[in-house]
Amino acid sequence: MPLWEGRFKKSIDSKTNDFNSSISFDSRMYKQDILGSIAHAKMLAKQGIIEQIEADKIVNELNKILEEISNGSLKIDLEAEDIHMFVEAELTKRLGDTGKRLHTARSRNDQVALDLRMNLKDETNILVKLLKELISTLIEKSEENINTVMPGYTHLQRAQPITFAHHLMAYVEMLLRDIDRLKATYNRMNVLPLGSCALAGTTYNIDRDFVKKELGFYDISQNSLDGVSDRDFVIELASNISIIMMHLSRISEEIILWCSWEFKFIELDDAFSTGSSIMPQKKNPDIAELIRGKTGRVYGDLITLLTMMKGIPLAYNKDMQEDKEAIFDSIDTVKICIETLIPMLKTMKVLKQNMKNAASKGYINATDCADYLVKKGIPFRKAYKIVGQIVSYCIDNNTTLEDLQMEQYKKFDNNFESDIYDAISLEKCVTNRNTVGGPSPSQVKSRIEQVKRILNSTI
């Protein structure tokens, strides 16, 4: 019989029990549930709500239960409705009436709100750590490719020369913002809901500040209805994770393109590729494709949460039990994606010559050619037009800006001198883009040093 047997004449129908139960997915919060209960028991004794000796027994037994679940000697009973009921029932089984005193001045409503906040705070810290590892990997690869010239693209058309380091460092910027967002969400999660009780607080003289300090929260919630029914922090985290997945999906998409024979900019290690069951020549970037594909399910989780919350009257409603599977799925998915992406990036081979070859064709130094004329005093729009005509001539005559003879250049504009060849060399095009945020090796190096300092600081 459940805890509410006094009010009920029959036990719950077994299928309904399964439907109602959340233990299969909320048992992963056992540690937070027990730590929350320990802090609560200590507070009850400090306030004289229960005897100190009983609180000591409760704390002692809860610690044992925590230890036993962690080492596998106590199996979580999947017949229990949820992890909160399981821990309380286990405590009561062991301590009798003493165990029954724990739930004074508390409800499962503020308990689940507490557990989830504690759990997601921990998960956020893990996620930040993983993102930092991913950033370090991108930095390592960038350092090896400071001078690796490749085409930069817009519209997937070759546009201007950049370096592979510059390209990878763009992802570092995205991931730094991801960490920033996670930190902001963490701060909003860091508010203790315990003490809101079922919805309207309690008549007992509880000390919420004490529990806040015990559990390492920064603040306490200021409205009991909101305390039990706010899931903004879950939605924020799911939204942050969706943005992270969008970034992972973009780099995956590029990896997939770069592996193709059409690009051949990189080669993935065999350990991070798969073959085909029928085509012997194939080496497929399945892992990158899966990361891209899994982005969809994470977006789905976010929509699940937003939709689940949108019509719920205050305060707690059982709909909210649906929050956990969605957010846990997002967390598990993003974690495994980052964990797989890191070694895949670490082991990929960068085919520098192919990148350079791709940058050497396609007139991606045309802007630099126009800038050359501008430096000789020609207005940019005029220079743009002249170079457009030169490019058109080159295409018709199957040549490049690098190979075009000086007398031909002179036919288009007399300002051209032999130093044009130096000005449009790919290396120069890159080194000369030396403004903050540009691809020049010195700019990229200095950003790498800044990011290393950021990683070593408190984030």
Structure tokens at 64: 């044992």
Nearer to ligand ARG, 113 or 387 (CB): 113
Range 75-98 burial, b when 16+ CB lie within 10 A, else e: ebeeebbbbbbbbbbbbbeebeeb
The answer, yes or no, to whether the previous bond of 315 is cis (omega within 30 of 0) is yes
User: What letter represents residue 32's amino acid?
Assistant: Q
Strand 266-267 relative to strand 191-192: parallel, antiparallel, unpaired?
A: unpaired
Interface pick for ligand ARG out of 320, 326, 373, 448 (rule CB under 6 A): 320
Q: Going by DSSP bridges, is the β-strand pair 157-163/149-154 parallel, antiparallel, or unpaired?
A: antiparallel
Q: Virtual CA dihedral for 259, 262, 263, 268, nearest 10 degrees?
A: 10
Judged by beta carbon, residue 230 or residue 254, the one nearer ligand ARG is 230
Q: How far is the CB of 62 from ligand ARG (least distance, A)?
A: 18
Strand partners, 150: 162
Provide the phi-psi class of 458: left if phi over 0, else alpha when psi is between -120 and 50, else beta. Answer: alpha
Gap between the Cα atoms of 225 and 246, Å rounded? 34
Cβ proximity to ligand ARG: between 238 and 320 the closer is 320
CB of 170 to ligand ARG, least distance (A): 40
Q: Interface residues for ligand ARG in 4-33 (CB under 6 A)?
A: 22, 26
Q: For this structure, is 155 an active site residue?
A: yes
- The helix/strand/coil state of 93 is helix
DSSP 333-395: HHHHHHHHHHHHHHHPEE-HHHHHHHHHSS-TTHHHHHHHHHHTT--HHHHHHHHHHHHHHHH
Among 33, 82, 178, 368, binds ligand ARG (CB under 6 A): 82
- The strand pair at 219-220 and 191-192 is best described as parallel
From 145, 321, 330, 367, residue interacting with ligand ARG (rule: CB under 6 A)? 321
By beta-carbon proximity to ligand ARG, the closer residue of 109 and 249 is 109
Per CB under 6 A, 80 contacts ligand ARG: no
**Which C-beta is closer to ligand ARG: that of 26 or that of 301?**
26
Nearest C-alpha neighbor of 175 from the set 399, 415, 337, 11: 337
Q: What six digits make up the tokens of 327? A: 């957010």
Residue reference for tokens 């003490």: 195
Rounded least distance, CB 211 to ligand ARG, Å: 19
Selection from 89, 34, 36, 96 nearest residue 65 by Cα: 34
For ligand ARG, which is the closer residue by CB, 318 or 381? 318
Catalytic, out of 73, 155, 277, 457: 155
* Other Cβ atoms within 10 Å of 6 Cβ, number: 6
**Judged by CB under 6 A, does residue 206 bind ligand ARG?**
no
Rule CB under 6 A: say whether 112 interacts with ligand ARG: yes
Does 424 sit near ligand ARG (CB under 6 A)?
A: no
Taking the complex as a whole, the smallest distance from the CB of residue 58 to ligand ARG amounts, in Å, to 21
Q: Which of 108, 121, 292, 433 binds ligand ARG (CB under 6 A)?
A: 108
Cβ–Cβ < 8 Å for 358, 162? no
In angstroms, what is the minimal distance from the CB of 241 to ligand ARG?
20
- What does the block give as tokens for 445? 């190096």
Complex with ligand ARG: residue 316 or 409, whichever CB lies closer:
316
Q: From the candidates 276, 392, 442, 446, which is the catalytic residue?
A: 276
Beta-carbon count within 10 A of 153 CB: 15
- Among the listed ranges 218-226, 293-301, 312-320, 390-398, the one in contact with ligand ARG (CB under 6 A) is 312-320
Least distance between ligand ARG and beta carbon 101 (Å): 20
276 part of the active site: yes
Asked if 155 interacts with ligand ARG (CB under 6 A), we say: no
Residue 351 C-beta: closest distance to ligand ARG, Å = 51
137 binds ligand ARG (CB under 6 A): no
Number of residues that bind ligand ARG (CB under 6 A): 10
Phi, psi (rounded to 5 degrees) for 275: -100, 180
- Cβ proximity to ligand ARG: between 37 and 137 the closer is 37
Considering only 10, 318, 381, 453, the residue that binds ligand ARG (CB under 6 A) is 318
Smallest gap from residue 359 Cβ to ligand ARG (A): 55
Beta carbon nearer to ligand ARG, 307 or 442: 307
Q: How far is the CB of 335 from ligand ARG (least distance, A)?
A: 22
Q: Where does this chain touch ligand ARG (CB under 6 A) — which range of 125-133, 231-239, 313-321, 359-367?
A: 313-321
Interacting residues with ligand ARG (CB under 6 A)? 22, 26, 82, 108-109, 112, 316, 318, 320-321
Catalytic residues: 155, 276
